[in-house]
Structure 1
Amino acid sequence: MLSPRPPAAHILAYAQTLDGGGVEKTLLRLAGSWAQLGRRVTLIVGDVAGPLARDLPDGVEVRQVGTKTMLGMSAIAAQTEAVAPDVLFCPGNHYTALAAWTRLRLGFRCPPIVAKISNALVRRDQNAAVAATYREWLRWHPRFVDRLVAMSPAMAEEACRMMGVPHAMVSVIPNPPPRPAPGTASPLVPNGRFLVGVGRLAPQKRWDRLIDAFADIDARDVSLMILGEGAERATIESQVAAYGLGDRVRLPGHVDDPTPTIARATALALVSDFEGVPGVLRESLAVGTPVVATDSSVAVREIVTSAAVGSVVAPGDAAGLVAALEHWLAPGRSRPNPIPQPGEDAATAYLDLFDETVLEHRFKRGFRPTA
């Protein structure tokens, strides 16, 4: 006897590029798991060229738009109508404008939309005018999104406050932890002690802040390695050269599996202006490597729960960042015990949410109030 068709039997998700961002990496892990669990998964990608192309999961149908621009990605509305999925998954804040466009374009023909909150909703990098506009934009989200996913309880509270949505509209589902990538080579690590940073070479990550601090630390036998690729490479390289740190700072580019490098590092540093729930902090603590992080999200202190596992500093506190790095670089400093990551059941939790959302959507469309 055949099993009944689940309400969300066909899931459509989308990504602009496969250039190596955390949102896209997580999406690929989830999509592969959903396919393994028997769901039909269609992935719309602006351009499939990029380091993450090798991570495209088996069993997932991939449709390429052919452009990396957000304007070109507006084709997601037509693709959604053509594919006719049961549910549309928006994988992060960066992509909610496309979800809004799809709802506007398709109207009642639009499937229910589940959107994940991938970045902080309170942005310290914005000036007053931009911040006011952004707050207004967040308040529009309940008009086109059916359900929201936050990666931690604190982010769920922030979503309710900033978007004006009820708690029942927000589900808390941590990202699935990354799996070791078999057959992938780790970059050669520096001899001796070293700090590591992991993330795109993008303005948000503020690697300039880390290099400024690294230039000021007293421990001259320590190296710095930043794993990631992006548009800021030339700027970062110029900064490194200006400090005369070319022999102590390495930028090997994107790495498929940074975990072995993180495990050997003396400490991991994440110095962003804003983040969502930084998975790299959890990955670092899972292998017993202490962390130094800016207070870039309400979720940071949910992860760095005590001074025994890491240090949290204000984004603009340059002296505090140097002091935190030197604290963990002190000879004989104890490393924290490994802390298991949450999210092992993330894929099934999403499927339960998708099924529930589809059933709610069908009920609302079929419901007619009595006179």
Structure 2
Amino acid sequence: MDRAKHIFTYAETLEGGGVERAQLRLARGWIEAGRRVTLAIGDADGPLAAEIPPGLEVVPLGGRTYRALFAVPRIVRETRPDVIFCAGSYYTGIALWTRLRLGRACPPIVGKVSNAMRRGDYPPLVARGHAAWLRAHPWFLDRIVAMSEASARDVIETTRIDAGRVPVIPNPPALPLPGSAPPSLPPRYILGVGRLVRQKRWDRLLDAMPRLAERLPLVILGEGEEREAIAARAASLGVDLRLPGHAADPLLAMRAAAVLALTSDYEGVPGVLREALSVGTPVVTTDSSPAVAEIVSAPALGTIVPTHDGDALVAALDAWLGPAAARPVPVPPPGVDSVPRYLALFDSLMPGAPVPARRPGTPAAPDTPLPPPEGAATGRAAP
């Protein structure tokens, strides 16, 4: 059986998103395992540039917007990889574009789900369009990787793909970075980690802060287009907000935090929850993903609150900040074997590979890939 000797992946920027961070960790592991890895990147500058592993072949696309990624089919044609890895839900549009442009010459494409498949924040018309888009995924993605069993069930139900094409592989765990120093932090604080974008709904957390029994500073690690709006809201509420920006090693700040809060509208499998629990820090999170209950699997680890319930958020934070609250026993994160599992998956898509058995205990779903648009290049039939 042939191996996938050359893996191709792509990203917009290295500004510090969790998708790109996991992508670089995986690339490092694949390179160390003896595989060739090419990264096409709109802009190779940014905080994560320091995490580019030795040996990664970086192809700059010369732009900081999604539009730059439309050059991906051309790069694939030039570099001739064995497999394409689509690192997150945000990038699946480029996977479709690549399939359409390359047709039968397109290598197998493996996509990873990084966001919730069901979006409660969409109005009805947009939600119907999104549902149709998800049902198209089995046509242009050969495999859809879920990071948890709950996420896999969601993928099967929303895309109608066969369960045998939905492997479950967690992200590799975040590891301490030697030489990293934490940002300047107050003695006791509430922590948020994530991009400063609307999805994360930091406004919910800010609104809760003045209502807490113990008034603590709020530290949010991350960058994004809503930085100024978040800072302005904090000032109007009298919240002591610290925005140190991107942190090379957020585990350092997580370990010292009183509690980590995640107040997103939607998530995939939020790695920040696993990271916080891995260092024994309790979490308070909205029910923004089916995977949240898998991660916060016991009351001793944290509290899950309804997405739009501000009172429940305040009560949960107060409980974990109270003198009777006991910090969780650290929970080892999954994913230590993610690199070889991905490589086995890539190899299984090479010519002559045996057809894998369906995952035990997972029911099949009707596999009804959509035909390509009229006049489009015919893609290679997904297995």
TM-score normalised to structure 2 length: 0.91
Give 1:165 shift.
Answer: 0.4
Cα distance in 1 between the residues matched to 2:325 and 2:102: 58
Cα distance in 2 between the residues matched to 1:212 and 1:187: 24
Equivalent runs, 1:147-226 vs 2, <5 Å:
147-191=143-187, 193-220=188-215, 222-226=216-220
Per-residue CA distance 1:12-46 (angstroms, 9 max, x = gap): 00001101100000000000110000000001001
Give 1:360 shift.
Answer: 6.2
SS of the residue 1:88 aligns to:
strand
Give the structure 2 partner of residue 123 of structure 1.
Answer: 119
Cα distance in 1 between the residues matched to 2:352 and 2:330: 41
Are the structure 2 counterparts of residues 65 and 345 from structure 1 closer, same or farther at C-alpha, using a change threshold of 3 Å?
same
Say yes or no: does 1:138 pair with 2:130: no
Tell me if the contact between 2:73 and 2:101 (Cα under 8 Å) persists in the aligned partners: yes
Question: Structure 2 unaligned runs (5+)?
Answer: 356-378
Per-residue CA distance 1:209-240 (angstroms, 9 max, x = gap): 100011211212x2211111111100001001
Question: Structure 1 unaligned runs (5+)?
Answer: none
Say yes or no: does 1:238 pair with 2:232: yes
Are the structure 2 counterparts of residues 87 and 143 from structure 1 closer, same or farther at C-alpha, using a change threshold of 3 Å?
same
Say yes or no: does 1:67 pair with 2:67: no
SS of the residue 1:24 aligns to:
helix
Cα distance in 1 between the residues matched to 2:94 and 2:205: 33
Give 1:357 shift.
Answer: 1.4
Tell me if the contact between 1:147 and 1:357 (Cα under 8 Å) persists in the aligned partners: no
% same residue: 51
**What amino acid maps onto 1:33 in structure 2?**
G
Q: Of the two structures, which has the highest relative contact order with CA contacts closer than 8 Å and spacing of 6 or more?
A: 2
**Which of 30, 35, 49 does residue 34 from structure 1 map onto?**
30
Cα distance in 2 between the residues matched to 1:10 and 1:105: 20
Cα distance in 2 between the residues matched to 1:284 and 1:178: 10
Give the structure 1 partner of residue 339 of structure 2.
Answer: 347
Give the structure 2 partner of residue 287 of structure 1.
Answer: 279
SS of the residue 1:359 aligns to:
coil
Tell me if the contact between 2:2 and 2:350 (Cα under 8 Å) persists in the aligned partners: no
SS of the residue 1:251 aligns to:
strand
Give 1:366 shift.
Answer: 11
Give the structure 2 partner of residue 8 of structure 1.
Answer: 4
Cα distance in 2 between the residues matched to 1:362 and 1:299: 31
Cα distance in 2 between the residues matched to 1:362 and 1:309: 41
Give the length in aligned residue pairs.
358
Say yes or no: does 1:277 pair with 2:269: yes
Give the structure 1 partner of residue 368 of structure 2.
Answer: none
Tell me if the contact between 1:112 and 1:361 (Cα under 8 Å) persists in the aligned partners: no
Tell me if the contact between 1:142 and 1:163 (Cα under 8 Å) persists in the aligned partners: yes
Tell me if the contact between 1:292 and 1:310 (Cα under 8 Å) persists in the aligned partners: yes
Say yes or no: does 1:312 pair with 2:308: no
Per-residue CA distance 1:159-190 (angstroms, 9 max, x = gap): 00000001101000000001111112111221
**What amino acid maps onto 2:195 in structure 1?**
R
Give 1:6 shift.
Answer: 4.6
Are the structure 2 counterparts of residues 19 and 366 from structure 1 closer, same or farther at C-alpha, using a change threshold of 3 Å?
closer
Cα distance in 2 between the residues matched to 1:72 and 1:332: 52
Cα distance in 1 between the residues matched to 2:278 and 2:138: 35
SS of the residue 2:78 aligns to:
helix
Give 1:359 shift.
Answer: 3.0
TM-score normalised to structure 1 length: 0.94
Give the structure 1 partner of residue 50 of structure 2.
Answer: 54
**What amino acid maps onto 1:236 in structure 2?**
I
Cα distance in 1 between the residues matched to 2:109 and 2:254: 36
Give 1:307 shift.
Answer: 1.0
Are the structure 2 counterparts of residues 244 and 166 from structure 1 closer, same or farther at C-alpha, using a change threshold of 3 Å?
same
SS of the residue 1:171 aligns to:
coil
Give the structure 2 partner of residue 253 of structure 1.
Answer: 245
Are the structure 2 counterparts of residues 199 and 360 from structure 1 closer, same or farther at C-alpha, using a change threshold of 3 Å?
farther
Cα distance in 1 between the residues matched to 2:354 and 2:330: 45
